[in-house]
Amino acid sequence: MTASQGKMKFVLVMLFVFLAANFLMAQKVREGSTPAGQRAVPNGDGSASLLPDDGTGNAAPTGQAVVTGNGINYNGGPVLKGSPVPVYIIWYGNWNGTGSNTAATVSLLEGFLASTSLGGSSYEAINTTYGDTTGNVSGHLNFVQAVFDTGSQGTRLRNSKISAAISAQLTAGHLPTDPNGVYIFATSSDVKESGFCTQFCGFHTHQTLNGADIKWAFIGNTDQCPSGCEIQATGPNSPSTGVGGADGMANVITHETEETITDPDLNAWFDSSGQEDADKCNFKFGPTQTAANGARFNQTFGGHNWMIQMEWENSRGGGCDQTLGGPFFTN
């Protein structure tokens, strides 16, 4: 009887790991060592699972809205087609601190997500190359509303605590319950999340919260691990040398919002290795320029210079691009 119970426990544990791996899509830290044909995804307990391609993806349907054959596959699910897609932010932890845990970071990143900045840029327009059977992504997003949570779930988080914190904001009516939006859960650098900085820099997922299919992304302050989640310690918008959290977070936010829009329910756009459109260009930036403070940048919009990774363009055979229709780059 004991042996049978042990086998059952093992089966249940393995089932949990498999389900957890299918629950999240994560941006790997720099210079990852995930084997080809697999992706590392956080389980919410400090570990990560390697999920192989199992060949069970749906065949791409026919229809004018779906373009295939460019190095990434359509797996049958919906995309977010809002024009613009609304973005909501939960600022979790202490954002009245020092370094990059400041009101200046909050203001910078909320402005970064505006329709007059990233939301209306030629970079964001790359997303228009993705669609489902009813239409294409608009290529526009816009920051709508933010709330602050100073630590309702403590400073050591698991995914279940993040879900609880988001759900509380929705049920209380502090944020709208919007199944067509993207919710960003951004944490200050004193907040620890299982797997952040060791397995991933950010991730996105979807859950039923307050009765709706809510798409949300975790974004931690990258100053917690600049060597793993920042391309440079001092960014073009850094307040001082070595304080690159705001710029590092902008890069991760870009990665996760692009993927949330093109693969909101984790069943739309990814390749045979499980890589979504931003994963295929992870920490690839293309040609750069040098800002006055010596930092590199590759985009200028919204009155600021930015260093944000390229995105996979689903056209012209496919490739990593800085702007829609621009040249493809491999670096």
For residue 155, give its domain range.
77-329
Pairing relationship of beta strands 319-321 and 328-329 according to DSSP bridges? antiparallel
Percentage, residues of the chain above pLDDT 90: 80
pLDDT of 27: 75
**Per-chain mean pLDDT for the chain:** 86
Tokens at 263, concatenated:
């693969």
Question: 266-297, pLDDT tens digit by residue?
Answer: 999 999 999 999 999 999 999 999 999 999 99
Residue 67 lies in a domain: no
Centre a 10 Å sphere on the Cβ of residue 69 and count the other Cβ atoms it contains.
11
pLDDT of 29: 80
Question: 213-253, pLDDT tens digit by residue?
Answer: 999 999 999 999 999 999 999 999 999 999 999 999 999 99
d(CA 31, CA 154): 30
Return the sign of the alpha-carbon dihedral for residues 141, 147, 152, 155.
positive
8 Å CB contact between 153 and 162: yes
Residue 15 lies in a domain: no
Please compute the mean of the pLDDT values over residues 11-28 and round it to a whole number: 46
pLDDT of 24: 63
Tokens at 80, concatenated:
């977010």
d(CA 124, CA 140): 7
d(CA 331, CA 254): 18
Q: Which amino acid is at 30?
A: R
Q: Is the pLDDT of residue 19 over 60?
A: no
pLDDT of 28: 72
pLDDT of 65: 64
- pLDDT band of 12, cuts 50, 70, 90: very low
Strand partners, 204: 25, 217
Question: 32-72, pLDDT tens digit by residue?
Answer: 433 333 334 443 333 333 333 333 333 333 344 699 999 99
8-state DSSP, 61: P
Q: Is the pLDDT of residue 195 over 60?
A: yes
Output the pTM of the full model: 0.85
Question: 143-157, pLDDT tens digit by residue?
Answer: 999 999 999 999 999
Question: 156-181, pLDDT tens digit by residue?
Answer: 999 999 999 999 999 999 999 999 99
- Write the CATH number for 108: 3.40.390
Report the run of H or E that residue 262 belongs to, with start and end: helix 245-262
Q: Is the pLDDT of residue 208 over 50?
A: yes
Residue 29 lies in a domain: no
Residue 55 lies in a domain: no
Please compute the mean of the pLDDT values over residues 17-31 and round it to a whole number: 55
pLDDT of 3: 39
Question: 106-122, pLDDT tens digit by residue?
Answer: 999 999 999 999 999 99
Residue 300 lies in a domain: yes
> What are the DSSP calls for 129-170, one per residue?
G-EETTEE--S-EEEEEEEEES-TT-SEE-HHHHHHHHHHHH
Residue 205 lies in a domain: yes
d(CA 72, CA 148): 37
Three-state SS string over 33-58 comes to CCCCCEEEEECCCCCEEEEECCCCCC
Count the domains in the chain: 1
Residue 4 lies in a domain: no
Q: Is the pLDDT of residue 16 over 60?
A: no
Residue 311 lies in a domain: yes
